[in-house]
């Protein structure tokens, strides 16, 4: 397949490439994709596809097996052998429904296998499902201080390697401390930040929650320091 000069595309609508020698099927695939929110481009053979992918990288490739020249299986093998292209999801679409062909394509790294004839809705749903599955997951938002680790996305906290269970207010208190390590908060500030200005209560509520939070954090609870005549702050262990 030769050297690739892959240039990133601007973020936006997903570009799907359809490599299919049957013009009528190729046109239906492209039409179905474009009418459901995708960009799409078709190729009638592996040669035109290989030339185009030297300059652009699609988000997903729909690949027929029975192609003139280099067939789809060989093309898939070359794609997966390329460090620049191996991460592109590939859906195999072919009239050949024998089990061996499916196993061969999947073993080479195909992400899904569609057997012709297939419906337009099935085709589009397949594309969407493969894209969802293959997209890189965003890194979890972690807040750390010493042996305290908070996963904001999963709403979990561990202290000293042990998972602990916090109430919503305890979690929000700890998140505030972890986000502003070393900063001293007055009781009024903590109360307003966590409970809100409209909450009818006493700042003594803050002391009660701090006491419970320290207990649940175990040995890590000592990192929440009392600042005399001010309030509290979290000091990360050195």
Q: What is the pLDDT of residues 88-102, one digit of tens each?
A: 999 998 776 666 777
What does the buried/exposed string (b/e) look like for 3-30 if buried means 16 or more CB atoms within 10 Å of the residue's CB?
ebeeeeeeeeebbbbbbbbeeebbeebb
What's the pLDDT at 97? 64
Provide the CATH topology of domain 142-234. Answer: Arc Repressor Mutant, subunit A (1.10.10)
pTM above 0.85, yes or no: no
Provide the CATH topology of domain 15-134. Answer: Rossmann fold (3.40.50)
Span 35-61, pLDDT tens digits: 999 999 999 999 999 999 999 999 999
5 token code pair: 């000069």
Question: 19: number of CA atoms within 13 Å, CB side?
Answer: 29
Domain extent listing, the chain: 15-134, 142-234
Instruction: List the 231-234 sheet strands across, edge first.
Output: 185-186, 231-234, 224-227
Strands 142-145 and 148-151: antiparallel
Q: Where is average pLDDT lowest: 52-56, 133-137, 160-164?
A: 133-137
Q: Where are the beta strands (DSSP E) in the chain?
A: 15-19, 39-43, 60-63, 90-94, 112-115, 142-145, 148-151, 156-159, 162-164, 185-186, 224-227, 231-234
């Amino acid at each position: 397949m030769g050297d690739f000069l892959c240039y990133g595309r601007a973020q936006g609508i997903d570009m799907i490439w359809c490599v299919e020698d049957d013009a009528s099927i190729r046109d239906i695939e492209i039409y179905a994709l474009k009418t459901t929110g995708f960009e799409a481009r078709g190729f009638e053979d592996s040669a035109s596809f290989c030339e185009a992918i030297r300059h652009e990288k699609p988000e997903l490739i729909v690949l027929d097996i029975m192609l003139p020249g280099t067939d789809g299986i060989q093309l898939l093998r070359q794609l997966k052998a390329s460090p620049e292209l191996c991460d592109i999801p590939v859906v195999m679409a072919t009239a050949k429904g024998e089990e061996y062909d499916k196993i061969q394509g999947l073993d080479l790294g195909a992400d899904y296998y569609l057997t012709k004839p297939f419906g337009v809705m099935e085709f589009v749903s397949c594309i969407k499902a493969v894209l969802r599955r293959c997209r890189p997951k965003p890194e979890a938002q972690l807040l750390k201080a010493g042996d305290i680790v908070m996963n904001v996305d999963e709403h979990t906290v561990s202290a000293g390697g042990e998972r602990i269970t916090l109430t919503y207010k305890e979690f929000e208190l700890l998140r505030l401390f972890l986000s502003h390590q070393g900063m001293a908060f007055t009781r009024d500030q903590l109360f307003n930040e966590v409970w809100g200005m409209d909450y009818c209560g006493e700042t003594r509520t803050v002391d009660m929650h701090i006491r419970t939070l320290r207990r649940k954090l175990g040995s890590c609870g000592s990192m929440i320091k009392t600042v005399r005549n001010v309030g509290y702050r979290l000091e990360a262990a050195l």
